[in-house]
Amino acid sequence: MSTYGGVTNIIAYLGAAAWIPQIITWVCNFFSKPVIAIIPEKIACIGYTIYGPIFNLRLSINTKKKDSIIDFMSVELCHENGSKHNFEWAGMAEFFSEVKNNKGENQIIQRDIIPIAIKLNTLSLVERFFRFQDSAFIKKIRVQSEKFVEMMQYMKKKNENYPADFIASKDFEDHMKFMRENFYWQPGSYTVKFRIRSPEKIKINEKTYNFELTQENIDALRSNLEEVGTFIQAVCKSQPADQNTQPNNFRWVNTVLESV
């Protein structure tokens, strides 16, 4: 072997060796899973509205090792008596800034987002306000609402004394009974566990949290049943153009989340 050939081979080997760390990194990244962590704000908002039981709070989500995608998120709430309820994401809000309006009042600039998927990257946190609704209630209210609206439309066409007769009817009372029966908030301690789903293999840094509800909190939330009835009556009495009116008199309970 000539000296020139030997030097050339050494240079080639050194050049190939220089790629070894990068190749190792590529292999590790290929086989490693994203590690996703959910960090909740200290305050969670508990409610009960025409949409049933509500659990709202702001979350920060980050991923380590690899970028990832979340296509579903839920929360499991377990009361100290053992009863469990699952809440699925129903809406998100992304906050951009806080400015002063013409009256000198602070106004938050935000964007509401329909939850479909969230792209996570290792360089930054995702911070959003999440609205969660009870998964079982969502399924039941669809069936219940279809029957309710069908009967309401029928009586609206056939009954000259609509809406008074409909509001006094068994169908209306059955709907209110349904809303009362699905109010399950009770005083005591709740544990909170966040669940996420991804189209790819991921690892979740799971943590458990808890919060307390007092009897005073429950009384405040239960008073919303009256507001539910008032709102539904208003919908029955309103003209089609007025039915976009949203209820705004519901009471909410802010509770502190503690890490277990």
pLDDT tens digits for range 190-199: 999 999 999 9
Cβ atoms within 10 Å of 88's Cβ, excluding its own: 16
Domain residue ranges of the chain, discontinuous segments joined by +: 34-259
Which pLDDT score, from 0 to 100, does residue 243 have?
A: 46
Asked if 257 and 40 count as a contact pair (C-beta separation under 8 A), the reply is: yes
Q: Is 68 helix (H, G, I), strand (E, B) or coil?
A: strand
pLDDT in tens, 26-54: 555 555 789 999 999 999 999 999 999 99
Which pLDDT score, from 0 to 100, does residue 212 have?
A: 98
pLDDT in tens, 131-172: 999 999 999 999 999 999 999 999 888 888 899 999 999 999
For range 178-187, the mean pLDDT: 97
d(CA 51, CA 134): 9
Asked if 141 and 83 count as a contact pair (C-beta separation under 8 A), the reply is: no
Superfamily of domain 34-259: Immunoglobulins (2.60.40.10)
Instruction: Residue 75: name the closest of 30, 130, 129, 32 by CA.
Output: 130
> Which segment of 27-31, 125-129, 251-255 scores lowest on mean pLDDT?
27-31
Looking at the chain, the whole-number percentage of residues with pLDDT higher than 90 is 68
d(CA 188, CA 211): 8
Residue 184: phi and psi, rounded to 5, are: -120, 5
d(CA 53, CA 212): 16
Asked if 224 and 109 count as a contact pair (C-beta separation under 8 A), the reply is: no
Question: In what helix (H) or strand (E) does residue 231 lie, and over which residues does it extend?
Answer: helix 224-237
> Which segment of 44-53, 119-128, 237-246 scores lowest on mean pLDDT?
237-246
> In whole numbers, what is the pLDDT of the chain averaged over residues?
87
- Assign 241 a pLDDT band (cuts: 50, 70, 90): very low
Query: Tokens at residue 106, please?
Result: 């602070």
pLDDT in tens, 65-123: 899 999 999 999 999 999 999 999 999 998 766 666 676 666 666 688 889 999 999 99
Cis peptide before 115 (omega within 30 of 0): no
Contacts of 48 (CB under 8 A, 6+ apart): 54, 183, 185, 221, 222, 224, 225, 250
pLDDT in tens, 208-236: 999 999 999 999 999 999 999 999 998 88
